[in-house]
């Protein structure tokens, strides 16, 4: 399985929105509604932000939202805040008997 494709970087000013794409194939992103997103600050463990494409775990602000169209999933962070500056990774289920596949990661900078 090849890594899902994410843009290396994205940025926005405080209060603005940023959207990160995650492109796979019909064998992963396009084939199932099991895409999750993780936020990782430097030196820290990843944190689950979105699961099953659109679902937010308890405690995650509604500024974070997910969507999917075809083979591309997206994470939108609205009302950017300084603490949103981090690396973001998508992860997609890739079928029975397979481990999921992570995206290449996107560094979000709050200007």
Calculate the CA 101 to chain-centre distance: 12
Residue with Cβ nearer another protein (16 or 21): 21
Rule CB under 8 A: which residues touch another protein?
A: 1, 3, 34-36, 38, 40, 44-48, 51-52, 57, 89, 91-93, 96-105
User: Least CB distance from residue 70 to another protein, whole Å?
Assistant: 18
Residue with Cβ nearer another protein (19 or 40): 40
Residue with Cβ nearer another protein (77 or 101): 101
Strands (E), the chain: 9-12, 18-23, 35-40, 47-50, 64-69, 72-77, 86-92, 101-102, 106-110
Which of 30, 26, 22, 31 is CA-nearest to residue 4?
22
User: Least CB distance from residue 103 to another protein, whole Å?
Assistant: 8
């Amino acid at each position: 399985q090849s890594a899902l494709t994410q843009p290396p970087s994205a940025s926005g000013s405080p209060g603005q929105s940023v959207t990160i794409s995650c492109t796979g194939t019909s064998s992963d992103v396009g084939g199932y509604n099991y895409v999750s997103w993780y936020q990782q600050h430097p030196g820290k463990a990843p944190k689950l932000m979105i699961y099953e494409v659109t679902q937010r775990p308890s405690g995650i602000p509604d500024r974070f939202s997910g969507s999917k169209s075809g083979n591309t999933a997206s994470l939108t962070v609205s009302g950017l805040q300084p603490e949103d500056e981090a690396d973001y990774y998508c992860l997609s289920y890739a079928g029975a008997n397979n481990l999921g596949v992570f995206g290449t990661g996107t560094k979000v900078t709050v200007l």
